[in-house]
Every structure is written in structure tokens, then in C-alpha cells.
């Protein structure tokens, strides 16, 4: 990936892809931990995924670590697995009609568990979407701050450049004014010397004209 756009790889990973991996980890963690608080298990899986999402430098690193984590969870056997019960002793014929009733009682918790799981998944999905929105808002805020800082630095550079140009123009004008003043002083001194020379010449002529002829 281009180092100038380190977050570009995140655009290639869709929300459904992230949610799918979190769900896989959630199912395995729920199986291994035996935790009754499903929300806590989901948050643990989402936190692990979010850590990889924020710390990974590219898509390959992020996806490989996720795959390894899910694979490692799937390989672990469920702790505290209870051995299957022994076959029940044959009962009297009179107890046979109660079997369908027992099956109904066994099916009811399964349906209820599935409903709770679906409800929990819906709540977890909503929480994930909220976390995604918060993360996107935070990233947008940081981008805006970076743009504002870049605009401020650009404005400062332009201001400094304008000040330097104004200072250089003022120095050039001062040098031109000084040179013009020196030229005016030189011309004035030259004119003054000419006037003095003309006065001296006129005085000499007047004196010569006034002298008696011998």
C-alpha cells in the first residue's frame, strides 16, 4: 500500500465482512467460555476485531490475524464437556405415551434459546453499527482537523511570503529613493558650482572693463 494513504486499505473491507468475522469469533467464544452474558462475549469479540482494525497497517495483516484467531478458537475443544448419558432402562408400556410430551418440553427451550440468540444478534448488530458510526465520525473529525491544520499552515506560509515580498519592496523603494536623493544633491552641487563660476567670470569681466587704458 502507498505510505501516503495508510488508511486506504480499510475501504476494501466492507462492514459485512467485519461483522461476519466478529460473529464467528462470538460463536466460538460463547461455546468455549460458557458465559451466560452474550453481550459481554460479543463485546470481547468486537474489541479484538477493533484493535486489529485500528493497529493493522494493511489489509493482509488485519485479515490474516483474524483468520488465525478464528481458526485457533475452532480448534479448541469445549471445556467441561459432559459425557453422553447411558441408555435409560426399559420402562413399562404405560410410560410410552409420555415421550411426545417430553419431546415438547425439550423443544421449547431450544426454540426459546434460538429466539434469544436471534434477539441478541440483532442487538449486537445494532451496537456494532453504532460503534462503526462512532469510529467513522472520529476518523472524519481527525481528517477535518488535519485539513484545517494544513489550511492554517498554508495561510501562514502565504502571509509570511507576502510579508517578505512587502519588506523586499520597501527596501527596494528606500534604496531607489536614496539613490534619487543623492542624484538630486549631486545635480544641485553641480549647478551651484556653475553659478559660482559664472559669477566669478562676470566679476572678472566687470573689473577688466573698469580698468583705465594706459
Among 75, 103, 131, the domain-final residue is 75
Domain range for 174 is 169-207
Q: Is residue 191 in a domain? A: yes
Which of 71, 36, 65 lies closest to 49 in space, CA to CA?
Answer: 65
Query: For the residues 110-138, what does the mean pLDDT come to?
Result: 64
Q: What pLDDT does 82 receive?
A: 45
Asked if residue 48 lies in contact with residue 28, where contact means CB atoms within 8 angstroms, the answer is no
Which of 148, 117, 97, 106 lies closest to 36 in space, CA to CA?
Answer: 117
What is the count of structural domains for the chain? 2
Q: Is the pLDDT of residue 132 over 90?
A: no
**End-to-end CA distance of the chain, in Å?**
115
Q: Is residue 84 in a domain? A: no
> What are the start-end ranges of the H helices in the chain?
15-33, 38-55, 59-75, 99-210
What CATH number is associated with residue 28? 1.10.246
Q: What pLDDT does 100 receive?
A: 44
Q: What pLDDT does 125 receive?
A: 65
Q: Is the pLDDT of residue 140 over 70?
A: no
Among 60, 75, 90, the domain-final residue is 75
Q: Is residue 27 in a domain? A: yes
Which of 1, 2, 51, 4 lies closest to 146 in space, CA to CA?
Answer: 4
Q: Is the pLDDT of residue 14 over 90?
A: yes
Q: What pLDDT does 208 receive?
A: 82
Percent of the chain with pLDDT over 90: 29
Q: Is residue 24 in a domain? A: yes
Q: Is residue 65 in a domain? A: yes
Q: Of the given ranges (64-73, 100-109, 169-178), which has the lowest mean pLDDT?
A: 100-109
Number of CB atoms found within 10 A of residue 202's CB: 10
Q: Rounded to 5 degrees, what are φ and ψ at 212?
A: -70, 145
Q: What pLDDT does 203 receive?
A: 86
What pLDDT, in 10s, does the model give residues 141-199?
777 787 788 887 888 888 888 888 888 888 988 888 888 888 989 888 888 888 988 88
Q: Which residues contact 109 (CB under 8 A, 6 or more apart)?
A: none
What pLDDT, in 10s, does the model give residues 15-26?
999 999 999 999
Among 51, 75, 99, the domain-final residue is 75
Amino acid at each position: 500500500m502507498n505510505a501516503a494513504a495508510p488508511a486506504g486499505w480499510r475501504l476494501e473491507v466492507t462492514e459485512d465482512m467485519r461483522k461476519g468475522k466478529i460473529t464467528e469469533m462470538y460463536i466460538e467464544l460463547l461455546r468455549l467460555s460458557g458465559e451466560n452474558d452474550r453481550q459481554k462475549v460479543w463485546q470481547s469479540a468486537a474489541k479484538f476485531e477493533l484493535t486489529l482494525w485500528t493497529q493493522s497497517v494493511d489489509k493482509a495483516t488485519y485479515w490474516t490475524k483474524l483468520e488465525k484467531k478464528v481458526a485457533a478458537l475452532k480448534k479448541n475443544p469445549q471445556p467441561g464437556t459432559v459425557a453422553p448419558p447411558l441408555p435409560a432402562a426399559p420402562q413399562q408400556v404405560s410410560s410410552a405415551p409420555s415421550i411426545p410430551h417430553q419431546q415438547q418440553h425439550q423443544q421449547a427451550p431450544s426454540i426459546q434459546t434460538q429466539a434469544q440468540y436471534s434477539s441478541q444478534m440483532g442487538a449486537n448488530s445494532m451496537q456494532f453499527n453504532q460503534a462503526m458510526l462512532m469510529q467513522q465520525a472520529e476518523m472524519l473529525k481527525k481528517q477535518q482537523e488535519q485539513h484545517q491544520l494544513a489550511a492554517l499552515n498554508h495561510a501562514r506560509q502565504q502571509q509570511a511570503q507576502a510579508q517578505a515580498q512587502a519588506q523586499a519592496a520597501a527596501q527596494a523603494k528606500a534604496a531607489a529613493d536614496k539613490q534619487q536623493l543623492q542624484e538630486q544633491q549631486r545635480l544641485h552641487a553641480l549647478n551651484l558650482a556653475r553659478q559660482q563660476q559664472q559669477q566669478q567670470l562676470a566679476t572678472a569681466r566687470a573689473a577688466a572693463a573698469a580698468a583705465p587704458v594706459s
